[in-house]
Amino acid sequence: MSGLRYTKEHEWIRVDGDVATIGITAYAQEQLGDIVFVELPEPGKRVAKGDEAAVVESVKAASEIYAPTGGEVVEVNGVLEAEPATVNADPTGKGWFLKLRLADAGECDALMDEAAYQAYLKELA
């Protein structure tokens, strides 16, 4: 599967083999405003689909980042601890939060593709 998939909570996921990279969308970071702190999970932590996987704090609010799929955390983006604003600058690139080894790749099938996510955003406007 190539490209990004999305949740209604505005997380994105990019799958490469059995590992998925997870972050928040441009829409989410715009709603949050300037991000000032990111709390990441420890590698080795297991999460189920929908579990809290990370926390992001901005000048406006704190928000949980939920796991779009279940799996084991295999890597976190340590850059975000020193430079949380990276999420604002490049939310779907260098601003990724964590990587999961997928427990069930089939869980990705229930997520929105780009077209469906854009339609969802229009509903919110």
The predicted-structure confidence for 67-102, as pLDDT tens digits, reads as follows: 999 999 999 999 999 999 999 999 999 999 999 999
Q: What does the pLDDT average to over 97-116?
A: 96
Q: Which CATH number does the domain 4-108 belong to among 2.40.50.100, 2.60.40.1180, 1.20.1250.20, 3.10.20.310?
A: 2.40.50.100
What is the rounded distance in angstroms from the CA atom of residue 97 to the CA atom of residue 63? 13
Q: What is the pLDDT of residues 41-65, one digit of tens each?
A: 999 999 999 999 999 999 999 999 9
Nearest to 34 by CA among 72, 76, 77, 91: 91
Nearest to 25 by CA among 68, 82, 83: 68
Position 41 scores a pLDDT of 97
Amino acid, single-letter form, for residue 12: W
Model confidence at 17: pLDDT above 80: yes
Which residues are bridge partners to 19 per DSSP?
16, 101
Q: Which residues make Cβ contacts (< 8 Å) with residue 122, sequence separation at least 6? A: none
Domain ranges for the chain, please list them. 4-108
What is the rounded distance in angstroms from the CA atom of residue 122 to the CA atom of residue 66? 22
Position 1 scores a pLDDT of 35
Place of tokens 């975000």: 80
